Structure 1
């Protein structure tokens, strides 16, 4: 046990401290940033870039706080430059990462799209993730179900989901058993923290109503 009765992480690399909240969180719930050669803060979505990592919870409030309170400079112990659209940039990169993972699942035969194909998989395959576009017909989406033990992802628009399958738009898709399903779920969780408010409302819809 660690100080305060908290259990220590088995692997020191599995958790990192968020500079905005001070919480120790699993890395898959955080976004890593590094300081680039020009002293600009760069999002490192895949956690592969060289340099000392600066970690922030994937939640929008934490990212907004890190920007507003100039916490990146404090963590980097130097003056840094922040892109004006840093939070939007992070969201875009997370979307791209999720699309790429779904595309990899499709290419490896682990994913299908289209209402009838998905319905067939749900009836006979070991489906791990049901994906439906955020802007698809609620009536149509309600005709499919998330199998017990599987996860539902409804964060991507039909255009974004379509990119994963090489189509103009996709409303329904499914990912079967395989190594990519857990990674899709992890990346979807990070994106959800940015796109969905605590009350469960899509932040993009909130912005439209506010205009």
Structure 2
């Protein structure tokens, strides 16, 4: 086992740490998410999604696994642990998108994105949850044409956040669509998005990720959500 591999405390399966979520124990004994895996001390790693984590907590399996991992029974699992993890994953994904925008790798505006798509420079296409379907389809078609992949499943990803949140993440106004024009930036962004979207899983809310693999139950074994929406690195 290398330093980059961790074992899920619930499934006992070994997976690369980048695909798992780290939990830590506060000085007061509260279990907290450590999405960036930067907090000091002993950590516990999980690979289940939001629904799986809630089920494990309700059945008592989570507390038992955490007690063994932290070597203490004096732990408190907050009722909103799943929501805290989801919020941190969302923040990490949108922060990554913001960083790529500051580096000049993100284009916004339908016309600019379509131009990048048709010229073969687009590597990842994102839409706000309240984007119009016809606009999203038009950009996806331009992407397929520009990358010589007409008739393929290549398409954009509809994020479970509105244009207001997407605009805040990018520091711009009224961002409905966003495109990444650098392959490695697109890869970094897609990895952050995959962690977030795999964890939250299918929601009862009609705003959801436009992907067949959204409902995967485990991060390491799930097919990346961006498999059909990101251009392969050359």
Q: Same fold (TM over 0.5)?
A: yes
Which of residues 100, 105, 109 is equivalent to 2:104?
Answer: 109
Structure-2 separation of matches of 1:40 and 1:58:
20
Q: CA deviation at 1:151?
A: 7.6
Q: Which residue of 1 aligns with 2:18?
A: 28
Which of residues 151, 158, 172 is equivalent to 1:154?
Answer: 158
Q: Which residue of 2 aligns with 1:188?
A: 193
Mapped contact 2:29–2:75 kept (Cα < 8 A): yes
TM-score normalised by structure 1 residue count: 0.80
Higher relative contact order (CA 8 A, sep 6+): 2
SS of 2:92's partner is helix
Corresponding position: 1:122 with 2:126: no
- Unpaired runs of 5+ in structure 1? 1-8, 207-211
TM-score normalised by structure 2 residue count: 0.73
- In structure 2, do the counterparts of structure 1 residues 178 and 37 end up closer, same or farther at CA, with 3 Å as the change threshold? farther
Which of residues 46, 49, 52 is equivalent to 1:56?
Answer: 46
- In structure 2, do the counterparts of structure 1 residues 20 and 205 end up closer, same or farther at CA, with 3 Å as the change threshold? farther
Q: Which shifted more, 72-81 or 60-69?
A: 60-69
Mapped contact 1:130–1:151 kept (Cα < 8 A): yes
Structure-2 separation of matches of 1:187 and 1:19:
22
Q: CA deviation at 1:152?
A: 4.0
| Aligned positions, number | 192
Q: Which residue of 1 aligns with 2:169?
A: 164
Q: CA deviation at 1:169?
A: 3.6
Q: Which residue of 2 aligns with 1:5?
A: none
SS of 2:52's partner is helix
RMSD: 2.3
Q: Which residue of 1 aligns with 2:137?
A: 142
Q: Which shifted more, 178-187 or 142-151?
A: 142-151
Segments of 4+ in structure 1 off by > 6 A? none
